[in-house]
Amino acid sequence: MQTPAAILVDINRIVIDTLTLPPLKPGQVLIEVKYSGVCHTQVLEYRGHRGKDPYLPHCLGHEGSGVVVEVGEKVEKVKPGDAVILSWIKGSGANIAGSIFDWKGQKVNAGAITTFSKYSIISENRLTPIRNDFPMKEAALLGCAIPTGLGVVFNTAKPRAGESLAVFGCGGIGLCAIKGAAIAGCVPIIAVDIQASKLESAKQMGATHVIDASKEDPIQAIQKIGPLDYAIEASGHPAVMNQALKSVRSQGGTAVIIGNAKQEHFWSLDPKELNQGKRILGTWGGDNHPDVHYPRYCNLIHYGQLNVKPLIGKSYSLSQIEQALSDLEQGHTLRPIIDMSAP
């Protein structure tokens, strides 16, 4: 089996070429990828911001949707023809380490999940089957952006109806957190960003207030609205993490950090914030259990409670992957989607 794939060969250098896939190991599944999302994690890998990369050259991508082509021995979760979500977050099923693909005699590492290719070999536990009539473009974002953004609200912060919540950074994950807060009954819901277009999307996802942090101090602006119970930081900048912590109320306000900072970008904070009874929470991608939580998120979309169209960005072909990464990095698009059927 051969596939076109995006291969990260060095920092800032991706080659699109044909790879040969090895036979399936027990617990692995051959997937025809339909759509892949592009996430800031791949931007960090592409730019070398995650530190030394011992896996080069390697495949990329950790959220997508596809159809099962073939299953390895002992796979019970899916069968050929099933529509599936491809997600980096581990669920039930075999946990099989990555494969090595062949590139004209050279080895290319592929992790337990990679999605920037027409076909991919994926560990059973990174797959979640979905109804076959589910829209596949939306399904791709169920691999990372949607569960991370909804999960950080539903599973990590767990606000109650009527509590106030602010989201700092309105990319794909931040917008999903805003929608999650709206579904959970939070009011007010305050969106903070430095791009007017993202704040516009935030309103569509349920923000009741928007703050342009390039024009006003977000901490002061939030205080004018009222005491803040939860701040969710989804920008990855340590300075913004400080703003999130400073903006929540004393005695019980909680800042949740979800943004990925660049390698060696550290956060120094004033411990007095903690002496005031504020709390900081981390989250493992929204603390999801895919087998339990993804079907719920699918229900929200299927029954019209969650419209994710405002966060779907521009569509790209696989050969335009570097353009997609740079557009995401520069904020020219929301979540880019790689359409594997595009020429």
Contacting positions for Zn ion (CB under 5 A):
39, 41, 144
Shortest CB 18 distance to Zn ion, Å = 26
Q: Count how many Cα atoms sit within 13 Å of the Cα of residue 202 in the half-sphere of its side chain.
A: 29
Check residue 214 and report its DSSP letter. Answer: T
What lies within 8 Å, CB to CB, of 190 at 6+ separation is 164, 165, 166, 167, 207, 208, 209, 210, 211, 222, 225, 228
Check residue 117 and report its DSSP letter. Answer: B
Distance CA 285, CA 107 (A): 30
Shortest CB 290 distance to Zn ion, Å = 14
Shortest CB 247 distance to Zn ion, Å = 25
Cα of 143 vs its chain's centroid, Å: 7
Shortest CB 260 distance to Zn ion, Å = 9
Q: Which two tokens stand for residue 157?
A: 């912060």
Q: Looking at beta carbons only, is 144 or 231 nearer to Zn ion?
A: 144
Q: Looking at beta carbons only, is 39 or 121 nearer to Zn ion?
A: 39
Q: Looking at beta carbons only, is 51 or 277 nearer to Zn ion?
A: 51
Residues linked to residue 316 through DSSP beta bridges, in sequence order: 338
Shortest CB 62 distance to Zn ion, Å = 5
Q: Name the strand (E) or helix (H) holding 190.
A: strand 189-193
Distance CA 328, CA 333 (A): 6
Shortest CB 195 distance to Zn ion, Å = 20
Residues linked to residue 279 through DSSP beta bridges, in sequence order: 254
Q: Looking at beta carbons only, is 62 or 278 nearer to Zn ion?
A: 62
Q: Looking at beta carbons only, is 41 or 223 nearer to Zn ion?
A: 41
Q: Other CB atoms closer than 10 Å to residue 329's CB: what's the count?
A: 15
What lies within 8 Å, CB to CB, of 13 at 6+ separation is none
Q: Looking at beta carbons only, is 226 or 331 nearer to Zn ion?
A: 331
Check residue 68 and report its DSSP letter. Answer: E
Q: Looking at beta carbons only, is 144 or 257 nearer to Zn ion?
A: 144
Shortest CB 336 distance to Zn ion, Å = 12
Residues linked to residue 54 through DSSP beta bridges, in sequence order: none
Alpha helices in 77-144 (DSSP H): 136-141
Shortest CB 100 distance to Zn ion, Å = 23
Q: Looking at beta carbons only, is 41 or 92 nearer to Zn ion?
A: 41
Distance CA 131, CA 297 (A): 13
Shortest CB 198 distance to Zn ion, Å = 17
Alpha helices in the chain (DSSP H): 40-47, 136-141, 145-151, 172-184, 196-205, 218-225, 238-247, 272-275, 290-302, 321-329
Q: Looking at beta carbons only, is 41 or 276 nearer to Zn ion?
A: 41
Q: Which two tokens stand for residue 85?
A: 């979500």
Q: Which residue is nearest to Zn ion (CB)?
A: 39
